[in-house]
Structure 1
C-alpha cells in the first residue's frame, strides 16, 4: 500500500466551483477520491496552480488531504491553452516541495489530464516512483465528435497525450469504452489500463420532495422541468436541449415545459455561443430559466426539482451529472456517447439518444415528459442504479491500480535499481483480505 501519494491537477483546483471556467467533473473526481484514499490511511498532497494572490499556499481539504497552491505564471488571464508555457515553473515548484522532505516522501504520483501528466512524467523520473495517469478527456476522441462552432484540440495536446500513454506506469480509464479509445487512438497496451468508474456522493445526493425544491428555486410546481447542469460550451451542447424543447413546444404550446440551465461559460467556441439569444430566437425565452453554478447542497435541490435531467454532450468520458441526478431519483436523457452508456441504464433509469439531431432529441424528450407513469418507473429505478457507483468503489479500484504499479516498480520507497531486475526478483501477488503480499527470492 502507498503511504503518501502526489496528485497533480495543474489546470483546475479541486476546491474550485464546478460548472464554470475550467472546473467540472474532474475537480469533483480529484477531491472525492483523495478524501476516500485518506480515509484508508493514504496521505494525499494535491498540487494545483494558484489562480489568485489570496490563495493560501496550503489548504487542508480534509483530514489527510492537503492542497498545495503552486505559483506558476500570472494569477489571472491564463486560459487552459496558455498553460503549457507555465509547465517549467510549475514542475520546478513541485520538485522543490518534494526536495524539502526526506528522500522517498512520495510513493507514487497520480496525474489528472495531460498537462498534469507532463509534470508527473518529470517528477516520476526524478523521484523514482510509479506514475499513474488519468486522461479524463482525450483530444483524439473530442476531435472525432466536434460540436458545430467548437475549436478542435491542438495537435500538440494529442502528441502530449501519446507521450503519456507510452511512458506512464499505469493508465486509469473511467469505463471499458475509454480503455478501448486509449487502445484505438493511442495504441495503449490493454494490460496497462485499469478501470476505475467515477462515483457520486450517495449521502448528499439522495431523493427528496420535488415540490419543496421547486419552491426554494422559485419554479412553478405544475411545470415539467428539464434541467441542464454543466459548463456552458458547445462540447456540453445545452443548445441541443433548447432546440429540442422548442420543437416540443412547437407541437404543443400548452405543454408546461420549463428548461432550467445551471452553469457558467467555459472553454472554446464561446464566440457567438449565447444561450439567452438562442432562447429568444427560438421564441422560448419565457420557458427558460438560467442559474449560476450551484454548490453541492443546492445542486441536489436542482436535481430533485427536475422531472428530467439532460446531458446532451458531444463527448463525455463518464458524466457525473447523470449519476448525481439519478442518485436524487431523477431520470436522465443523455447522448449515447462515451461513458454515458454506463452512467445511464437505457430504458431503466433514463433514455440514451443516438446523435444530436433536433428530431431525435425532441421525440425522446416529448415521450419522457408526456408519460408520467413511465417517468415514475425510471425515477424509482434511478437511485438503485446510482448505488452501484460510489467514491468508495472508485477508491477501491484506484488502490488496486496503485498496488499493481508499486509491485511492478518494486514496492513503496524501493527504486527499481534497489529492487533488482525481474529475473533476480520474483514478485508473487496474492490477495488476502484486500491486502497485497509480496514474496521475493
Structure 2
C-alpha cells in the first residue's frame, strides 16, 4: 500500500495542545506500524463566522496542494469528521477515483448534520459514497445506518483507541495527588474537555457548588480544558466564583494529563451529546471511576456497572451522584472495565484500521 492522506478539520499545535489530539495520536500510531501518512489538517480552533471562513479557506488550499504534490503516492484518504473534512475525500474520489474512509466522531452527525439544508445533504452524500465508514460508538453507527441509509456492512464501530502505556494506573493515588497540589484527604473530582455548553460544564459547576454547601471542605473539582467561547467560559467562572474548591486548568501534554487522571478520585463527564467519550476510557485506564451522562457511546460504555450514568442537563441528579461518591466512594465492575480497556486498546484499534486500509486502498 502507498500513502494515506489524512484529512481533519481538527489537529493539535504547540499553541493548542488538545485540539483534535486523538487524530494526532492515531496518526503517530499508524506511522509506528509502518503506515505512511500525509497530513492535510486544520490546526486553528478560532470560532466566529469570519475566522471560520478564513481558516477553512486556508485549509482547503492546503488539502489540494498536498494532494497535487503527492497524487501518485496516495492510495487512500481518511477523513476525520464527516463534514467538512469528508467533503474533500468525496471530491477526490469523484474527480480522481481515490477511495476513502471517513470517521464520524459524533458532533458531525448529532450536531452539524442537524443544521439541515446543504450540510445534511453533503453529510449523506459523503457517508453513502465512502468506501467505509467508521463510527466511534454504537449509537452513532445506528444513527448513520438508519438516518443516512448507509448499509450496515459498510460501517465499523471503532474508537480512536487509548494508549495504555500513557494512561495507566499509579501505585499511589494519594502521592500523585500531593504532587499535583491536590488535597489527598478530599474527594477530588476531575473534568477534562472543552469548556463549552454541550459538555455540561455549567451544570457540573452548579451541582458541585451544592455539594460543597452541604459538605464543605470534603471535595474539590478540577476542570482541565480550553476556552472555545470566551463568553461562556466567563459565565462558568462566574458560577464558580467564591468556591475555592473549584480549579480551572489549561490543556497540557498527554503524559501530564495522565497524572491528573491518576490523581483524581472520580472523573465526571456530564455532556449533552458524546459520540464515545474517549476521555472517560482514559480515566478508567488510570484506575479512576467515572460519572457521566447517559448519552451516545457513554450509555454503552458505562453499562453493567462500569460507571455511573445520570441524565444529561439534570443538575440535581448529578449533584446526588457527586454527593454519593463523596460519602461512599465508588465501586465499579472491574471485569467489565477490563473488557472495555482491551476492546479500546490503541494497539488493537490500529490493527483493525490497517486491515480496513489494506482492503480499500487503491
Q: For this structure pair, what is the TM-score category when the shorter chain's length is used for normalisation?
A: 0.7 to 0.9
Pair 1:126–1:14, CA change in 2 (3 A): farther
- Superposed, 1:230-245 pairs within 5 Å as 230-245=193-208
Pair 1:274–1:226, CA change in 2 (3 A): same
Q: CA deviation at 1:153?
A: 4.7
User: How does the TM-score come out when normalised to structure 2?
Assistant: 0.88
- Superposed, 1:8-47 pairs within 5 Å as 8-13=7-12, 17-19=16-18, 23=19, 27-47=20-40
- Superposed, 1:278-357 pairs within 5 Å as 278-280=239-241, 285-347=243-305, 349-357=306-314
Aligned counterpart, 1:4? 3
- Superposed, 1:134-173 pairs within 5 Å as 134-139=103-108, 141-142=110-111, 153=115, 155-173=117-135
Asked if 2 retains the 8 angstrom alpha-carbon contact of 1:202 and 1:387, the reply is: no
How many residue pairs were aligned?
360
Pair 1:14–1:401, CA change in 2 (3 A): farther
Distance 2:149 2:288 in 1: 38
Does residue 192 (structure 1) correspond to residue 154 (structure 2)? The answer is: yes
Partner SS for 2:178: helix
Pair 1:110–1:229, CA change in 2 (3 A): same
Aligned counterpart, 1:261? 223
Aligned counterpart, 1:59? none
Asked if 1 retains the 8 angstrom alpha-carbon contact of 2:223 and 2:249, the reply is: yes
Aligned counterpart, 1:106? 74
Larger gyration radius, structure 1 or structure 2:
1
Q: Deviations over 1:37-85 (max 9, x none)?
A: 223322011111365xxxxxxxxxxxxxxxxxxxxxxxx9665885456
Aligned counterpart, 1:365? 322
Partner SS for 2:84: helix
2:92 to 120, 123, 136: 123
Asked if 2 retains the 8 angstrom alpha-carbon contact of 1:9 and 1:48, the reply is: yes
Asked if 2 retains the 8 angstrom alpha-carbon contact of 1:331 and 1:382, the reply is: no
**Bigger fraction of residues in helix:** 2
Q: Deviations over 1:304-351 (max 9, x none)?
A: 22110001010111111101111110000010111112333442x321
1:222 to 171, 185, 191: 185
Asked if 2 retains the 8 angstrom alpha-carbon contact of 1:111 and 1:134, the reply is: yes
Q: Deviations over 1:379-407 (max 9, x none)?
A: 7974664243111121222223323434x
State the Cα RMSD in Å. Answer: 2.9
Please say which of residues 171-180 and 326-335 is displaced more in the overlay. Answer: 171-180
Distance 2:64 2:345 in 1: 33
Distance 1:185 1:273 in 2: 37
Distance 2:55 2:181 in 1: 44
Q: CA deviation at 1:255?
A: 5.6
Pair 1:402–1:293, CA change in 2 (3 A): same
Asked if 2 retains the 8 angstrom alpha-carbon contact of 1:3 and 1:41, the reply is: no
Asked if 2 retains the 8 angstrom alpha-carbon contact of 1:310 and 1:334, the reply is: yes
Asked if 2 retains the 8 angstrom alpha-carbon contact of 1:15 and 1:31, the reply is: no
Q: Deviations over 1:272-306 (max 9, x none)?
A: 752221123xx6x1221111112112211111221
